[in-house]
Amino acid sequence: MNNIEILKRLYKDYTRKYLNKIFLAVFFSILVAGSTSATAWLLDPAIEKIFINKDQTLILVIPFFIIVAFATKGISLYFAKVLMIIVSEEVKKKIQTDMLSSFIKADTELIENKHSGKYVSNLNYDVSQITHMLSSSLLNIFKDSLTLIGLLTVMFIQNWRLSLIAIIMIPIASITAKKLGKRITKVTTEAQERSGDLNKYLIDLFKNHKIIKIFQRENFESARSEKFVNKLKEKQIKIFTVFIRATPIMEILTGIMIAILIFYSGKLIMTGQLSINNFFSFLAAMMLAYQPVKSLATINIGIGQGLSAGRRILPIIDTKVKISKNESGKKLLLNNGSIKFKNISFNYLSNTENKVLKNINIEINGEKMTALVGHSGSGKSTMLNLIPRIYDPINGNILVDEEDIKNINLDSLRKEISIVDQNTTLFDDTVLNNIKYAKPTASRDEVVKASELAMCSDFISKLENGFDTMIGENGVKLSGGEKQRLSIARALLKDSKIILLDEATSSLDSDTEEKIQKALAKLTSNKTTIVIAHRLSTILNSDKIYVLDKGSVVAQGKHDQLLNSSNIYKNFYNKQIKNN
């Protein structure tokens, strides 16, 4: 995406609707330009009439108009900046909203393929660069261009020869700024990368804070954190250093220009071709033109930063969802909820060479419990995630009641599925809202009933505010078992017909597990249930057990059959049952 395409996109999707405010800002910019030019022009009659001719009639009038000019400039500049700040913040909100919407709708695998810290940096650092481009750079284009035109007009009115000499500075400054702009665009991209790295580290730091304490790595992490901060600092220094390189160049050019103008003006005054009042008016206009020339000379730097950010942000917003909701597809009407895997193969984007699943063919009977057993990494959890289409297989088909799930309306499919995951996910919200997340329309009584079935009532009653207690980031205020029970309560509340249990009792002690098993029995009664369990005691009575090894189904049957036919299953059993 080139710069023109980025600008067109930003205009079409984000700034076009605010043209009325932008045009109003342009109007105020015209007033700024006019009042600035008037200030320089007023010096001509002020010097001639008051100081040279000693005309008493204008001694109050001209100072009054100078005050009016400065007041007009100040007030107009205020309103112009406020309008552009409003526009830029509205655009910022829209871009961030679009990015968040893209994150929410994106395929899970895509989100998992990039560290969340990088996305946080895109959302904050990059969007701020675009905001700055709109609020500052865009306004300066209008304001400083118009001001420069006004001041050049005054300069040419006073003396066209001096004006031709003065405007030589403009192309020289532009060439300098163009070279600096290319450099700062590169440095800004590098700074964004360092900002992303710092955000990545910060998220990891919070997530693993307890581990840092246990393994006494505080000093190591302090040193590492300093490296991340230092790298970002160095890039920021480079950005500002490059940015202010224009200052000494402009100062030198201005000094040379004024020296030449004074020399040449002196010659013109001595020969009577230029009067003192014309010279001072011209000089004032030229000195006032210094600021807009400097601003316009460096404006491409701010625009370059914004375009560089847009080049990173817009592809995120434009990310195409591979697993679409298929809203026009047939709605799933479950009969008994049977599930079939036909020639299923799968691999992750991050590792396309190694297949996680290889030609899986299994049948899961409706309204029965089916178990998946295998070593860690054998593909059990991946199989569960394929059913609600968190991922899609690279080959094969998954059928629910003989309907290919790729042809089914996705909402209607997921409506019939609940999952209790080994990695319990909770929100920084109340207990009530975390359980209610599965069914937003549920009443408080329904939530209470679900929590009772999941054996949550005992610990919820001990919390400071009961169901209205904030549980912290991912339930940090709760134990592992308590978090898992909340997850089970959430699934109970949804009351779907297909239940996926991925190590649902892995964080429970034996006493609590016994209670939860009873709750799970109610949850899974007459429902299609697929269970992954580290403890074989939870799956002994499954209708069918599939044994997985390295992404393939190597055995299937009931518990007694597998003890005789599968060494892998037999080893699991011997280790977990006979040793207890």
Tokens representing residue 181 in the block: 């702009």
pLDDT, residue 68, reads: 92
d(CA 27, CA 107): 46
Domain ranges of the chain: 3-317
Buried b (16+ CB within 10 A) or exposed e, 125-157: bbbebbbbbbbbbbbbbbbbbbbbebbbbbbbb
Q: Cα dist. 246→188, 201, 532 in Å?
A: 17, 35, 64
Buried b (16+ CB within 10 A) or exposed e, 161-199: ebbeebbebbeebeebbeebbebbbebbbebbbbbbbbb
Order of all β-strands in the sheet with 552-557: 417-420, 498-502, 528-532, 369-374, 544-549, 552-557
Q: Cα dist. 7→15, 148, 222, 492, 579 in Å?
A: 10, 25, 42, 50, 68
d(CA 365, CA 370): 8
Alpha helices per DSSP H over 456-509: 457-460, 480-494
- How high is the mean pLDDT in each 10-residue block of the chain (580 residues)? 86 91 93 90 78 75 87 93 91 91 86 81 86 83 88 86 78 69 73 82 78 80 87 83 73 78 83 81 80 76 83 90 87 90 88 82 92 87 91 92 92 90 84 91 92 88 92 84 87 89 70 72 84 74 88 90 87 68
Tokens representing residue 318 in the block: 């434009």
For 3-317, which CATH superfamily applies? Answer: ABC transporter type 1, transmembrane domain (1.20.1560.10)
Q: Cβ–Cβ contacts within 10 Å for residue 235, how many?
A: 18
The answer to whether 312 touches 397, Cβ cutoff 8 Å, is no
Report long-range pairs for 573-579 (Cβ below 8 Å, ≥24 apart). Answer: 573/536, 576/535, 576/536, 576/537, 577/536, 577/537
CA 109 to chain CA mean position, Å: 17
Strand partners, 372: 532, 546
The answer to whether 137 touches 306, Cβ cutoff 8 Å, is yes
pLDDT, residue 246, reads: 67
